[in-house]
Amino acid sequence: MLPSVSRSTAPSEASGGAIPGAAPSTMSSALSAHAEILSQLLARPDRYPLRWRAPGFGRQVDLVRAHLCPIRSHESLARIYAREHFHMDPTGTVPPSPEGLLRRSATDVAYAHRWLELSGRRADGPWITLLGEP
C-alpha cells in the first residue's frame, strides 16, 4: 500500500506543489517522498498507469531526464525542482496527491526518477526500457 498524504496541508511538501521561495529542504522532502512512491509503483508492472507506456509520455520523461542528467546532488535537484513553474496550482484548487501526480505528470516522474538515480536505486536508460515488457 502506498503512503497517504494529508490533504489539510498547504500545497507544499505534501502535494509536491512549490511555494514561491520554498526552502530546498522542503523540496527535498517532497522529492524523496515522490521517489519512494515512484519506486513502489515501478515495483508493480501489472499496476502501471496506461499513460506510462504511451510514446509521448515516455518521450517527455526522457527529455526532462536528459536535462536533469548534469545534476549531481539531491540538494541541487531540490533547488531546481523548487523553481519549476509547473508546481504552481491555480488558487482555490486542491493539488493532486503525490501518487496521482506521478501517474500523470511526466515531469514529476522524471524528477523522482533522477532522485532515485542519485540515490543509486535506479539505473538510467530510456523510460520505456525501464518499464520493461508489458
Contacts of 107 (CB under 8 A, 6+ apart): 60, 64, 84, 86
Report residue 118 CA to chain centroid gap.
14
CB atoms near residue 102 (< 10 Å): 26
What tens digit of pLDDT does each residue of 31-86 get? 999 999 999 999 999 889 989 999 899 999 999 999 999 999 999 999 999 887 55
pLDDT at 14 over 60: no
3-class SS at 18? coil
Q: How confident is the model at residue 22 (pLDDT cuts 50, 70, 90)?
A: low
pTM (2 d.p.) = 0.75
Q: What is the per-residue pLDDT for 90?
A: 58
